Amino acid sequence: MGLVEFTVAGALVETHEGILIVRNRRRSGASDWSTPGGVIDTTDASVVAGLTREVEEETGIVVARWEGPLYEVRATAPELGWSMRCEVHRALAFDGELRVDDPDGIVIEAMYAQPERCLAFLEPSALWVREPLGEWIAERWGPDRARLYAYDIFGNRRDELHAVRAT
């Protein structure tokens, strides 16, 4: 049986207050932090259209202009039966009041955090979330220097996963 493949997009939204991060409640009851974004639906016209929808649904922020992708993450978890590709884009023009009203009930908190604080919140998050973001925060490259991150994920329980960077 093949792996279920899905496409995800993540948003880098930054103001003088910091980088926008969201706390996600998982099915197990655990929570972790990430940038806003989510699964791109087959009904979305494009990855960017889906990302725009996800960011507005999760945070109330409406993005009018994007750049990217700045980086792409590919993660494969054969024991869990999935493979994921994530494009991460940076918001260049946006507006709206920060609020949490996620129709999926996953995002339960949102805030802007200064880069060092952002990294502290992301420390317990999955390697394939925190490592690329941490490198981008440290180096701040643009889409002309987009990077690819690939991870192999081992284990069959979320709380016991082990990820290894493949590239």
Tens of pLDDT, residue by residue over 137-165, are: 999 999 999 999 999 999 987 778 899 99
pLDDT score for 1: 60
Does the domain at 4-165 match CATH 3.90.79.10? Answer given as yes
> How do the domains of the chain map onto residue ranges?
4-165
Does the global pTM surpass 0.85?
yes
Beta strands in 17-160 (DSSP E): 18-25, 31-34, 37-39, 62-77, 82-95, 107-113, 147-154
Burial 17-45 (b: 16+ CB within 10 A, else e): ebbbbbbbeeeeeeebbbbbbbebeeebe
Mean pLDDT of 62-88: 97
